[in-house]
Amino acid sequence: MNTKDTLELIYKTLLNSFGHQNWWPGETADEIIIGAILTQSVSWKNVETAIEKLKQNNLCTIEQIHNANKEEIAPLIRSTLYYNQKAKKLKNFANFLFQKYDGNLQKLFQTNTNILRKQLLSINGIGEETADSILLYAGNKCVFVIDAYTKRILSRIGLTKPEWSYARYQQFIMNNIVHDIELFKDYHAQIVYLGKHFCKTKLSCEKCPLEKFCERKKLSI
């Protein structure tokens, strides 16, 4: 089986096992962007707590973040860890949006994807995973998000090497699956679900829907 067929089969297996994940959890593009920044190095459960507090205090849009000061934001996002740093990151993104795009997300996402990605990566506190999450889930750009779960799962299966760079992982996947925004969104979400519940640091292979791939072919599909 070639790589394209293998990646397609992996997705279909996960979809049949877990169902459509309806990701990203967020009501608006603003909320998705805020969540993408807050979820760095912390579980989504912690982010949900922070977002609810931001909503209660009318601080869950980029414009509201832009108009607030860090001291107002930080206590509300304490559940996400490194909350002072993340308050700065939120402010950095908001300042970028208003300085370069007049605070208009629609104008932001009309920018060429490669150019916009470089701009996002130039913002202090925005790394590749965060930038790509913003592009895919808030901007509906066809960019595949790579995270620790992606690296762990694909390397354990035998398709990739754990030492590969973010860019190499991304190129590998994007060269071998159909470029469809909804597929990209759900495929990443399926990987996250598998990584959280089955393909953890401590393995739970006997219950994993991809167990047959790893065991039967001895880590090489």
CA atoms within 13 A on the CB side of 144: 25
Report the mean per-residue pLDDT for the chain.
Answer: 95
Question: What pLDDT, in 10s, does the model give residues 132-158?
Answer: 999 999 999 999 999 999 999 999 999
Which CATH number does 29-138 carry? 1.10.340.30
Query: Sign (positive/negative) of CA torsion 203, 205, 208, 211?
Result: positive
Kindly report the number of other CB atoms within 10 A of residue 77's CB atom.
Answer: 26
Q: Which CATH architecture has domain 3-22+145-216?
A: Orthogonal Bundle (1.10)
Q: What pLDDT is recorded for position 173?
A: 99
Question: What pLDDT, in 10s, does the model give residues 29-76?
Answer: 999 999 999 999 999 999 999 999 999 999 999 999 999 999 999 999
Contact 46, 79 (CB under 8 A): yes
Q: Name which of 112, 108, 89 is nearest 35 in CA terms.
A: 89
Annotated domain spans of the chain: 3-22+145-216, 29-138
- Full-model pTM: 0.95
